[in-house]
């Protein structure tokens, strides 16, 4: 894969997707991802330990000692980010971005380094891989032409209830599908809030453990969910309100 840059000697920034769980990488990722990882030395990752584990799993022959890794997460000093792209500018080397799960830059701090790459005229190359947001939307049966991902809803009960009502209104009145997530250990509490706040006729899709053997994806009205309580504790979930 050849990247086109503003300056021919610059390396490119590759956005490298990972699996959504503990399945074999090549079950859900194309060989092009493996090839780029094999050819790349510099990486920007959300968590070094899990990134190294992923690289070893998809490219077992790649020497771990050769990897040059920088971390990008909520604890990173933002002023350091431009230096993470020095290999692209000074050495003409490609740099790969790897997040904890799915696609970098989608509900992920990788967007910050991508913005800097554009400012510096470095080509950004997104690679094909699983996105829990898009996969759940595909499987929901809801409007895929107008939708919004809302990240995390407020923790405060009153603020959360208000947000749920607002998302329901957008879904029902504008036919705009509303997606959001919750910290896995609070999934059951979110489910209870949705059953309490949404109208009985409102449709809710719950999609968890997407792409794994124990995946669960179901769309049904709240009247159904009030009688059928799935076990969601510590399972990565996408919640979707639709018309």
The yes/no answer on whether domain 13-126 falls in CATH 1.10.10.10 is no
Every domain of the chain and the residues it spans: 13-126, 132-242
- Give per-residue pLDDT as tens, 181-198: 999 999 999 999 999 999
**Token pair of 84, please?**
């993470």
The yes/no answer on whether domain 132-242 falls in CATH 2.60.120.10 is no
Is residue 45 helix, strand or coil?
Answer: strand
CA-nearest of 85, 93, 114, 123 to 7 is: 123
Alpha-carbon span 71 to 81, nearest angstrom = 9
What is the rounded average pLDDT of the residues 206-215?
95
Q: Are 95 and 5 in contact (CB under 8 A)?
A: no
pLDDT of the residue at 109: 81
Residue 47, Cα to own-chain centre: how many angstroms? 14
What is 108-165 written as a DSSP string?
Answer: STHHHHHHHHHHTT--EEEPP---HHHHHHHHH-S-SSSEEEEEEPPSSHHHHHHHHH
Contacts of 3 (CB under 8 A, 6+ apart): 11, 12, 94, 123, 125
pLDDT of the residue at 2: 41
């Amino acid at each position: 894969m050849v990247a086109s840059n503003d300056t021919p000697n610059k390396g490119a920034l590759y956005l490298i997707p990972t699996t959504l769980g503990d399945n074999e990488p090549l079950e859900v990722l194309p060989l092009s991802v493996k090839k780029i990882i094999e050819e790349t030395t510099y990486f920007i990752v959300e968590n070094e330990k899990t990134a190294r584990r992923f690289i070893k799993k998809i490219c077992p022959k790649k020497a771990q000692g050769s990897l040059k890794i920088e971390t990008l997460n909520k604890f990173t000093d933002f002023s350091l980010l431009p230096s993470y792209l020095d290999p692209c500018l000074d050495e003409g080397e490609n740099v790969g971005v790897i997040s904890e799960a799915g696609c970098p830059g989608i509900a992920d701090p990788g967007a910050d380094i991508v913005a800097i790459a554009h400012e510096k005229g470095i080509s950004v190359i997104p690679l094909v891989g699983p996105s829990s947001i898009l996969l759940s939307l595909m499987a929901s049966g809801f409007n895929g032409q107008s939708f919004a991902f809302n990240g995390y809803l407020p923790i405060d009960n009153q603020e959360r209830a208000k947000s749920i009502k607002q998302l329901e209104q957008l879904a029902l009145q504008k036919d705009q599908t509303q997606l959001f997530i919750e910290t896995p250990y609070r999934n059951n509490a979110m489910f209870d809030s949705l059953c309490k706040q949404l109208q009985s006729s409102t449709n809710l899709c719950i999609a968890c453990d997407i792409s794994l053997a124990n995946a669960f994806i179901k769309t049904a009205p709240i009247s159904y969910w009030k009688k059928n309580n799935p076990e969601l504790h510590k399972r990565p979930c996408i919640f979707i309100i639709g018309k």
